[in-house]
Structure 1
Amino acid sequence: MPAAYWVNTFREVRDPARLAAYAEAAGSVMETYGGRFLARGMPAAVFEEAPMERTTVIEFPSVERAVEAYESAEYQAALAVLGDGAVRDIRIVPAVGDGGG
C-alpha cells in the first residue's frame, strides 16, 4: 500500500494558544495512526501565487490511515480544542507511483 501525505496549511492563525493546545493534542493522534511529521513551520520560499502560510506535512502509511486519523474520535477532540483558533486547508495526497499522479 503506497504512502500518503497530509498537507495542512494555515490560512490564518486567530489564537496561537489554541493552536499550540491543538498541536499538542493532535500530534499523538497522528503518531497513533502511523503518521510521521516531515515538515512544520513557515515556508522557506513561496512561488507563483502561493501565500506565505504555516504548513505541516505528515507522512502516513496509506491514504486510508490518514483518513482514519482525521475521522477518529481522538482527532475530532483535538479539533474541538482548536475551535476557531485557525483557518486551515487540509489535503491528503497519495504518494507518486500509486496511479494517483
Structure 2
Amino acid sequence: MSKVYWIAAYRAIKNADALAAYGKFAGAAIQSGGGRFLARGIPAQVYEQGLQERTIVIEFDSLEQAIATHDGSAYQAALKALGDGAERDIRIIEAN
C-alpha cells in the first residue's frame, strides 16, 4: 500500500499568536488521525519560486485517513484558531 503525504507550504505568516494557537490543536488532531510528522520548519534551501517560509510534511497510511483528518472536527477547530493568521498551500498527494 502506498503512503500519502500532506504537504503544507506557508506563503506568509500574518499573526504568530494565531499560528501558535493553531499549532496547539493541529498537532494533536493530525496525530490522532494517524498522521506522522516527517519534517517541519524553514527550508534549508529554496529554488525557483520557492519561499523561505515554514513547510511541513506529514505521512498517512491512506488517502482516506488524510482527508478524514483534515475534514474532521478536531482539525477544523484548529483552522478556526488559525483564522487568517497565515496564507498556506495544502496538498495531499499519494506516493508511487
> TM-score of the superposition, structure 2-length normalised?
0.95
Q: Show CA shifts across 1:21-44 (max 9, x none).
A: 101101011111110000111000
Structure 1 regions of 5+ residues with no counterpart?
Answer: 97-101
Q: d(CA) in 2 for partners of 1:48 and 1:10? A: 16
Alignment RMSD (CA, Å): 0.9
Helix, strand or coil at the partner of 1:46: coil
Cα drift, residue 51 of structure 1:
1.8
Partner of 1:59: 59
Helix, strand or coil at the partner of 1:38: strand
Partner of 1:80: 80
Structure 2 regions of 5+ residues with no counterpart?
Answer: none
Aligned length: 96
Q: d(CA) in 2 for partners of 1:75 and 1:56? A: 15
Q: d(CA) in 1 for partners of 2:47 and 2:13? A: 21
Q: d(CA) in 1 for partners of 2:72 and 2:2? A: 21
